[in-house]
Amino acid sequence: MPIALGKVQKHIRKKKGSLSALGDRDVKRVSRAALREKKLKHHATLRQHERENDYVRYGFMKVLVKDATEPLTIEQLREYISQWVHRNDPELERFESERRPGRPPTTKHLALKNRIEKELDEFRTGYKVPDLTTMENVKALQQWDGTEGSLAQITFIHVAKDPVPATVEADSKMEE
């Protein structure tokens, strides 16, 4: 188990008295611990950013079922996911129309294009959304307060754009 930077510094201070005159071995320990701390903080911010994107997605679903009195079908879920995935298409078209021929795209244009492609690929393979096919989940999403802790009350499913029937795959395996 890696030791945190503070513990490494404390251990070296206890041994040497200060951090001002370190030997090579101790410098390496402190620098490794500092790099480890930096890497952990970076990954934590990436995870937090992904969670925030998911919360926005779940908030969109919450707005959709705000006044719902019955659960949705899978087809309705696919339609709403498609609306969500294509929400930035007008802005992408604007970027592409403003770009002069032969010029590279701007950073914002590339970031938007990459985000749309990522969401389309996720939708093709299976988009993670709250399971709104049951009334219990619809009610739980309506009462969701926007925090991570209250998401434990909601079950999630992966909805793909074009599902492959499971019976076709099972029949082909049986014939072999």
Average pLDDT over every residue of 127-154: 89
pLDDT for residue 51 = 86
pLDDT for residue 172 = 42
Alpha-carbon span 16 to 9, nearest angstrom? 10
Alpha-carbon span 134 to 151, nearest angstrom? 16
- Residues 124/161, Cβ–Cβ less than 8 Å: yes
Q: Does the pLDDT of residue 155 top 50, yes or no?
A: yes
pLDDT for residue 15 = 67
Q: Does the pLDDT of residue 117 top 90, yes or no?
A: yes
* Among 60, 49, 68, 58, residue whose Cα is nearest residue 88: 60
Average pLDDT over every residue of 19-26: 64
Average pLDDT over every residue of 148-167: 79
